[in-house]
Amino acid sequence: MVNDPKSTPETPSAAPRISLRSLALLLGGLAMFGPFSIDTIFPAFEHMGRQLGADKVAMQQTISVYLLAYALMSVVHGPLSDAIGRRKVIIGGLIVFTFASAGCALSRDLPTLLAFRALQGLSAGVGLIVGRALIRDVLHGHDAQRLMSQVSMIFGVAPAIAPIIGGWILGWGHWSAIFWFLVGFSLLLLVAVWIALPETHPPQARLSLAPKRLLRDYWAIFVNPRFQRLAASGTFNFGALFLYIASAPAFVLDLLRLNERQFAWFFVPMIGGMMLGAYTSGRTAGKISGARLANIGFAFCGLGAVANVAYNAFVPVISIPWAVMPMMIGSFGIALVFPILTLAVLDMYPRQRGSASSLQAFTSLVMNAIVAGVLSPLLSHKGLHLALGAAAFSLLGWLFWRWETRSGQGVPESAPEAAAALEPTERF
């Protein structure tokens, strides 16, 4: 790493009033309520459709509208937190999400439900996007990596348990009870944030929210070659896993020939690999350099990709558990890589961490939309096609990472302490 000689020391803006373990639980919970909004309603689709007079295609709009609003608002949450503070944005987002969830529960027709789902999407990203910036406000270097890994480990549970919770709730009552559960969950988070979460971005460090400055800052971040390399590496690397997530119905029901109650055969190994990788990342922080840990992570991603392609190429009929084991290996590697790349992006712009986090999230969301809307329908008919597609994503992620390391940048042993406005802490 080559530090920018123009950079100046930076002091953490605030020390949390709660322990780091409690902070990890709180930030993990804040990151979870976005995925919960998608996955908990899956078991209720048929019941909702019957009551609202909507077919499967129309019900799919409840996901599309949510994701579209989420993606559009993702570029606003971060800069807004840079301008008025992290805590205010998180509290505001939770209030809006609570109101929107109550509106969904009370909806009696599809247009009303879609309107409140869009409002959910507009607010659901505050926990994940602003939370990343908050972590780097509070901690530096290996400590930030540990906390980011702990939050990732908690966040990784959400996609696995959300459909199970939704199914339990549906078994007890009406589908609207799922949205009342989201109301209760967001109210619990709101109380916890109000009581325990400090403001980590002090007034003297805040920036103007003028649209012209915001667009200028976004453009400066976006055209930075180092940001492009790091963001592309993380986005493509996760794309290998998201291709299977987006193709889960076809993979589980058609290719593995399981039933609707056996999705755990896919999700549990995948989430297990991610949680193990996040745990390993946190435990090795300070003992193994960020660059070396990322290389190990990419090696596991490559191993999983090769095993997946080989299995699908040479086994005529794929079956559990062998068909999901390569994804467990790959998700382990992804969880090792993710905290390293995310912190590297945030460290490039110490005064625009919110904006950097937003733009990184938006990049990933756009790619996920392309994967779900275009690639998954094309590749999910055959196991080998899915395996080759995922392997291509893993390869692209590694190639961008290789480009980054060969450029002389790499990942710092510890986070740089810098406070120059829109001056990355690295030359490129």
Per-residue pLDDT tens digits for 202-249: 777 777 667 777 788 788 888 899 999 999 999 999 999 888 877 877
* Amino acid identity at 209: L
CATH topology of domain 13-209: Growth Hormone; Chain: A; (1.20.1250)
Residue ranges of the domains in the chain? 13-209, 210-409
Residue 251 has pLDDT above 80, yes or no: yes
Range of 35-49, 54-68, 105-119, 247-261 with top mean pLDDT: 105-119
Under 8 Å between Cβ of 62 and 68: no
Least confident of 150-159, 198-207, 395-404, 410-419: 410-419
Q: Give CA 354 to chain center in angstroms.
A: 15
- At 138-171, the pLDDT tens digits run 776 667 767 777 777 777 677 667 777 887 887 7
For position 318, what pLDDT does the model report?
85
Kindly give the interhelix angle for 20-39 and 126-138, rounded to the nearest 10 degrees.
160
8 A C-beta contact, residue 86 and residue 23: no
Which carries the bigger pLDDT value, residue 124 or residue 372? 124
* CA separation for the pair 218, 419 (Å, rounded): 17
> Is pLDDT larger for residue 6 or for residue 59?
59
Q: Which fold has domain 210-409?
A: Growth Hormone; Chain: A; (1.20.1250)
Query: Which pLDDT value is given to residue 160?
Result: 67
Provide the 8-state DSSP code for 198: P
Strand partners, 285: 288
Cβ pair 410, 404 in contact under 8 A: yes
Dmax over Cα atoms in the chain, in whole Å?
A: 64
Task: State the amino acid at position 266 in one-letter form.
Answer: F
